[in-house]
């Protein structure tokens, strides 16, 4: 009469949960990928900065004939280090800004996909519910059309008919 659990179609809620899980997984994959790419670019920037800094240190520690050349070397070293720090900070900020924009776009795309899919899942759920209600109503109408006959009690007489049952008659005749 009613579908068994194995015959019942997949519930819309289960499909919606599965779809939501897929969407969240794809969003997380995109975010992790963006983060790893940003980390790799930041590592490259820092490695390049370290190379420049080591070159600056080499220049600073070079032997100078005149003592005044050392003060100029220190001044040049600090100037180049400040420029390097500024350049490195700007490059890292650009990486961070780019990664943030990518993560925001990934999140927005996922949000749009969820918003687009939600009405479809809801519509599917409504259609299934209406179909189930119609099917159940048909089955209930079929059950209701079965003629009802008086139910017998355990003593061989119709329920509510009064009188003495055959069991009671047998018991009184034996005594």
**Radius of gyration of the chain, Cα coordinates, nearest whole angstrom:** 42
How crowded is residue 34: how many other Cβ atoms within 10 Å of its Cβ? 18
The pLDDT, as a whole number, for residue 149 is 55
Token pair for 149: 């006959």
Report how far residue 134's alpha carbon sits from residue 128's, in angstroms, rounded to the nearest whole number.
10
Average model confidence (pLDDT) across the chain: 76
Contact status, residue 38 vs residue 96, Cβ threshold 8 Å: yes
CA 166, distance to chain mean position in Å, is 69
pLDDT, tens digit (0-9, with 9 covering 90-100), for 48-104: 999 999 999 999 999 988 888 888 999 999 999 999 999 999 999 999 999 988 888
SS (HEC) of the chain: CCCCCCCCCCCHHHHHHHHHHHHHHHHHHHHHHHHHHHHHHHHHHHHHHHHHHHHHHHHHHCCCCCHHHHHHHHHHHHHHHHHHHHHHHHHHHHHHHHHHHHHHHHHHHHHHHHHHHHHHHHHHHHHHHHHHHHHHHHHHHHHHCCCCCCCECCCCCECCCCCCCHHHHHHHHHC
Q: Kindly report whether the global pTM for this prediction surpasses the value 0.75.
A: no
pLDDT, tens digit (0-9, with 9 covering 90-100), for 39-50: 999 999 999 999
Domain ranges of the chain: 12-132
Of 102 and 155, the one with more pLDDT? 102
The residue written with tokens 């997380």 in the block is: 28
164: which residues sit within 8 A by CB, 6+ positions away?
Answer: 172
The pLDDT, as a whole number, for residue 168 is 52
Of 13 and 36, the one with more pLDDT? 36
Report how far residue 62's alpha carbon sits from residue 130's, in angstroms, rounded to the nearest whole number.
86
């Amino acid at each position: 009469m009613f579908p068994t659990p194995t015959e019942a179609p997949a519930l819309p809620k289960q499909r919606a949960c599965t779809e939501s899980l897929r969407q969240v997984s794809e969003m997380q994959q995109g975010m992790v990928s963006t983060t790893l790419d940003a980390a790799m670019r930041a590592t490259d920037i820092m490695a390049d900065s370290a190379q420049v800094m080591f070159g600056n240190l080499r220049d600073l520690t070079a032997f100078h004939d005149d003592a005044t050349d050392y003060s100029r070397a220190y001044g040049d070293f600090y100037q180049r280090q400040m420029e390097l720090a500024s350049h490195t900070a700007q490059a890292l900020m650009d990486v961070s800004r780019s990664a943030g924009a990518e993560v925001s776009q990934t999140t927005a795309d996922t949000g749009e996909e969820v918003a687009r899919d939600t009405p479809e899942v809801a519509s599917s759920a409504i259609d299934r519910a209406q179909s189930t209600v119609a099917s159940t109503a048909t089955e209930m109408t079929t059950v209701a059309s079965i003629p009802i006959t008086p139910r017998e009690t355990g003593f061989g007489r119709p329920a509510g008919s009064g009188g003495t049952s055959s069991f009671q008659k047998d018991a009184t005749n034996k005594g």
